[in-house]
Amino acid sequence: MYPNRKYPLITSRFSCFMIALLAGAILPFAFAPHHLWPLSIFSPALLLMIWQSPSQEPKLAFLSGLGFGLGMFGVGVSWVFISVHRYGNTDIPMASFITLLLVLSLAFFIATQGYCLKRFFKGNNTAFLLLGFPSSWVLFEWIRSWAFTGFPWLYLGYTELHTPLSGYGPILSVYGISLVVALNAGALVALFKGNKNAKILACFLVISTWGLGTLLTQFSFTTASPTKHTVSLVQGNIAPFDKFSQEDPIGATEKTYGRLTETHWGTELILWPESAVPLSLPYSQDYINQLQIMAEAADSTLITGIQVKNAQGEYHNSLIALGNGKGIYHKFHLLPFGDFVPFQQGLRGLINFFDIPMSSFTEGPKNQELITAGKLKLDPLICYEIAFPELVRSTLRNADAIITLSEDGWFGDSWGPHQHLEIAQMRALETGRYVLRATTSGITAIINAKGQIIGRIPQFHAMVLQGTFESMQGETPWVRIGLWPLLIVLILMFILPGRFRILS
């Protein structure tokens, strides 16, 4: 151990772990539904102060990072326990164990970041604070987006939707905003612990990043068509299992969604949520034909979630456009244990959680056609898919708007639906497109091209949200260029200081 007289608390393994754990536990309050965005800077800054201590060798940095991750994800994704226990019909000890395994696996990314950072940056200099930490944070966020099918949740950038830093979204995506937030965290530590030159540079970076962000919020990279389009988003508030357990599932759907929709026929676009029609095609074909006739007669496009059985006997989690609309979309990026069970031959039957209804879907093909609603082209996404920035960018293809159907009832009355909505807001900001979000039990919303919610339905209310949206044309820099330029910059930020003693 190296002595640290100025910060005596960060000299023992236990105290480092506990401080990091508490620092991580407060970070989720920066996200929805609390939006205490300053914590997105202060919380990582606390972790960085621990990592910057001379006592933090790589192994200790791993341990501190693990504590931070346990606090961050233990609080931030605690809603997973509700899904596993209440809707997975799993007892409390087993549900707790499964949730802990997920939290541990996510915490491992931050722990590994700390290990790599301390191993590569031998000193505790300005480069460590302003180059190594921000770049490594975002690189590990990116790795988390695809490792083990990906879990792109609780990115730092999501906390800045209501601050000037949101201006970076259409250019650099949520990853770029995360970089700026992490850079500000590093600058905050430099102001407290750096030398004179480091403090001057830190002040410059804070002022310039916030000033440029403010300027960028004034720009619009996409333009709206002169005609506004009407939309009705239907939230049925049917519990996840209820839709599948009815003796007459089509009758139950018609009783809820049919009743809510009957006064909204004639709206240009009507959205029902994921699996709103619980009986799969082709078994629900007669009901789909009835909806087709009603939608055509009303000059409307109805888009609804439905399961589809293909010729090989495999099931897809899908949505279909009826009436004036055309197209069918099969969910491409499936959620493990939600849409499918990995290693299902060995796991099926072990516990109830591995046998939940409709968890044997097959992924849809890549490069599917856009859904049409009259002359509108819509980019379709189902539930979890909205969380992947690169997936949304790749499927956009000059669509007029984005639609996303979801079943957030699995999260119960937790932070999960609010975080999911926040993620959808970021996709609107990044792409410069309206996002129309229909969910079974909330939160259904209309999000404009700046990522702002212009209409919403509270959770657990059976209601219809009627509003208007605009067809957006053009591409944001993020949609046009993508992630690779930013990744190259991040890698250079991490590698070059170690070779050339930059900012030492």
The torsion region of residue 64 among left (phi > 0), alpha (psi -120 to 50) and beta comes to alpha
CA distance 259 to 406: 20
Among 56, 73, 45, 75, which residue's Cα sits nearest to residue 17? 56
Residues catalogued as catalytic:
274, 331, 383
In the structure encoding, which two tokens stand for residue 207, read together? 């002022």
**Residue appearing with tokens 């201590």:** 53
Q: How many helices (H) and strands (E) does the chain have?
A: 18, 14
Alpha carbon 310 to its chain's center: 29
**365 burial via Cβ count (<10 Å: 0-12, 13-18, 19+):** exposed
CA distance 128 to 113: 13
- Inter-residue contact 52 to 69 (CB < 8 Å): no
DSSP 406-429: E-GGGG-SSSHHHHHHHHHHHHHH
In the structure encoding, which two tokens stand for residue 120, read together? 């590569």
User: Which residues face 233 on adjacent strands?
Assistant: 271, 465
32: amino acid identity, one letter: A
In the structure encoding, which two tokens stand for residue 46, read together? 């606390």
Alpha carbon 253 to its chain's center: 29
Strand-strand pairing, 277-281 and 301-309: parallel
The torsion region of residue 328 among left (phi > 0), alpha (psi -120 to 50) and beta comes to beta
In the structure encoding, which two tokens stand for residue 323, read together? 């009436």
